[in-house]
Amino acid sequence: MRFIHEHRDLFAVALLLRVLNIGASTYYAWVKQVEQPCDRDVVVLGLLSNIHEIWETSGRTYGADRVHRQLRRDGIGVGRKRVERLMAAQGWQGAFLRRGWRGGSTR
């Protein structure tokens, strides 16, 4: 499909579809899907912007749990695992404490 879309200026789409034995309805359904994102993708983009804003405001210290809590406080109903998945896909993670051994005597 991408090949046809990239070469539609050089050749007639009908000719390319006939040569590649692809139905016209299949191609145009693909074009519609590519040009218009589905509702879920639009929601994900909105969530990502909210998540990024919260994460940046926290100084990049909030992890998925805290971001999820803040979203809930802001009235945005979203699952914690979805927040985790979206943050991980973007490479965003919270700060974490590195705890060493507690000092103590070994007598």
For each of the chain's 107 residues, which pLDDT tens digit applies? 888 888 888 989 999 999 999 999 998 888 888 777 788 888 999 999 999 999 999 999 999 999 999 999 999 999 999 999 999 999 999 987 777 666 555 55
Does the residue 104 lie in any domain? Answer: no
Question: 12 and 46 share a domain?
Answer: no
Q: Is 13 helix (H, G, I), strand (E, B) or coil?
A: helix
Tokens matching residue 101: 């051994």
Domain limits for position 52: 39-90
User: Hey, what are 24's tokens?
Assistant: 């016209």
Name the amino acid, one letter, at 74. D
Do 30 and 11 lie in a common domain? yes
52 and 79 together in one domain: yes
pLDDT in the model for residue 7: 87
- Model pTM greater than 0.75? no
Give residues with Cβ within 8 angstroms of 66, minimum separation 6.
58, 94
Q: How many domains does the chain have?
A: 2
Same domain, 62 and 20: no
DSSP 94: -
**Residue 102: predicted pLDDT:** 61
Residue whose tokens read 């998945």:
85
Do 43 and 86 fall within a single domain? yes
Report pLDDT for 21: 92
